[in-house]
Amino acid sequence: MGFGRRTFIQATALVGLAAWERDWDRLRRGLTGRLVLPGDDVYDTVRRPYNTVYAHRRPAAVALCADESDVARCLDFAARERIPVAARSGGHSYAGYSVPEHGLVVDLSALRAIRVDHRGRAEVGAGTRMIDLYDELARAGRLLPAGSCPTVGIGGLTLGGGISVVGRRYGLTIDHLRAARVVTPGDRPRRTDDHTEPDLFWALRGGGGGNFGVVTSFTFDTAPAPDVAVFVLRFPAGAATDVLGAWQEWVLDTPDGLWSACDVGAGSPPSVTVAGSWIGPDGELDRLLDRFAAKVAPTERTVLPMDYGTAMRFFAGCLPACQPDDGSPFVASSRMLHRPVEPARVVSLLAGRRTGRVQFDTFGGAIARVRPDATAFPHRHAISSAQAYVDVVGVSEAEARRLLADLRDGIGHDTGYVNYIDPDMPDWPTAYYGRNLPRLRRVARRYDPDRVLAFPQGLA
Which pLDDT tens digit goes with each residue over 83-135?
A: 999 999 999 999 999 999 999 999 999 999 999 999 999 999 999 999 999 99
**75 touches 452 (CB < 8 A):** yes
- For the cut 70, the answer to whether the pLDDT of residue 9 exceeds it is no
CA angle 368, 457, 93 (to 5 degrees): 75
Based on C-alpha coordinates, what's the Rg of the chain?
23
Which pLDDT tens digit goes with each residue over 190-246?
A: 999 999 999 999 999 999 999 999 999 999 999 999 999 999 999 999 999 999 999
Structural domains in the chain, CATH included, are 2-107 (3.30.43.10), 114-224+437-447 (3.30.465.10), 228-306+323-434 (3.40.462.20)
DSSP strand pairing (104-107 vs 85-88): parallel
**218 touches 275 (CB < 8 A):** no
Q: Which residue has the higher pLDDT, 188 or 227?
A: 227
- For the cut 80, the answer to whether the pLDDT of residue 31 exceeds it is yes
| Length of the chain (residues) | 460
CA neighbours closer than 13 Å in the CB half-sphere of residue 188:
2
**135 touches 124 (CB < 8 A):** no
Residue 21 has what pLDDT?
A: 53
- For the cut 70, the answer to whether the pLDDT of residue 10 exceeds it is no
CA angle 390, 396, 398 (to 5 degrees): 80
Which pLDDT tens digit goes with each residue over 339-369?
A: 999 999 999 999 999 999 999 999 999 999 9
DSSP strand pairing (223-224 vs 271-278): unpaired
How many angstroms from the chain centroid is the CA of residue 56? 21
